[in-house]
Amino acid sequence: MTIVITLCSLLLIGYLFDLTSSRTKIPSVILLLLLGWVVRQATNFLEIKLPDLDQVLPILGTIGLILIVLEGSLELELNKSKVGLIKKSFLGAFFPLFILAFSLAYIIEYYSGYSFKVSLTNAIPFCIISSAIAIPSVRSLTSREKEFVIYESSLSDILGVIFFNFISFHTTFGLETFGSLILEIVVIIIVSLVATISLSYLLNKIDHHIKFVPIIILVILIYAISKTYHLPALIFILIFGLSIGNIDELKHFKWIENFQTDLLSKEVIKFKELTIEATFLVRALFFLLFGYLIQTKEILNTKTLPWAIGIVFALFFLRTIQLKWTKIPLFPLVFVAPRGLITILLFLSIEPSYKIHLVNESLIIQVVLLTAFIMMFGLMLTSGNEKNKTTS
């Protein structure tokens, strides 16, 4: 019972972090990581032995990623007025990802002596914006800024995973390889459309008192099966969320009339509420566990710290250029480029034969923490400046 009491208490503390984050401007993720680290120190001090939890982290991370992208896509409006914002979000996710990945890969190749392919595989995780940290951290921003962050971070996750799988799962690169990538994207789009229609039908027709949990389980199952066949499964999550979250925008299609859109819209609202609750729970557990697994020596590793600072400087430099180029106001969005859940998941999925001693747990943790703290202080600073402008 002690473990149950402790876990419930930690989750309630995590809920308080979530409630107060909009006022304190401190992302709840940072406080969850700190709380997990404190628990680790307490268990070590009290000599409490817990089972090995390393294998639980990727499972929680995968489920968390699915729910976070789903929650974000359910909140987005899809209409003609959003086309410009979507284009800018895509450019913001695409160009910094590839420019930073190739630049960092060349540097890693030079210093490590590994092949460019292996170096690129290790570089990609650092180049992806974490929707798990970015989306819940911008609740106090304007609706336009929040939409940009949701689109950009979700697209960054999707493009980053596709890019990572493409590089790590192929030994040669030619027309056949790129053809297979295009085919995989076409297949997942078809699967997404069929699955979305089927799941929408179930959401509308199931009259049992338990109906939303099976839908979420089916979403996770379809994602897992798609991943097994190396398909870009996050595209399915994005398409499904955008489709059912924008039922009203699809009314001009004749086939949509079969779904009784008025009733379906009410069910989608309930489904969205459950998704938000489930996302909070899984995200809190993931970052508590990740914080628990962090060792102090990894944070204070002076050998990797210069590399971490260099990577963070490069990514924020590129972000500044990107926002200037797409004519998006620099502040506060320039600070919202955290690395987190997806970076950790991709790092953990690198094949042992592709591991580089230079790219280790210390470097990953330092980059995640540095980007999170920069976002935190940046949001605090810009929030303070906005208040001063309104009062003056």
Average pLDDT, the chain: 86
- Domain range for 103: 2-391
Q: What is the pLDDT of residues 217-245, one digit of tens each?
A: 999 999 999 988 888 888 899 889 888 88
Among 52-66, 120-134, 249-263, 370-384, the range scoring the smallest mean pLDDT is: 249-263
Closest C-alpha among 205, 198, 204 to residue 219: 198
DSSP class of 79 = S
- For the residues 47-62, what does the mean pLDDT come to? 84
pTM: 0.86
> What is the per-residue pLDDT for 278?
92
Q: What is the CATH number of the domain that holds 301?
A: 1.20.1530.20
Q: What is the pLDDT of residues 335-383, one digit of tens each?
A: 999 998 889 989 988 888 888 988 999 999 999 999 999 998 898 887 6
> What is the per-residue pLDDT for 389?
47
Q: Where are the alpha helices (DSSP H) in the chain?
A: 2-24, 28-45, 56-75, 83-112, 116-123, 131-137, 143-169, 175-205, 212-228, 234-245, 261-293, 296-299, 305-325, 341-348, 361-391
Q: CA-to-CA distance for 364 and 350, rounded, in angstroms?
A: 13
Q: Number of folded domains in the chain?
A: 1
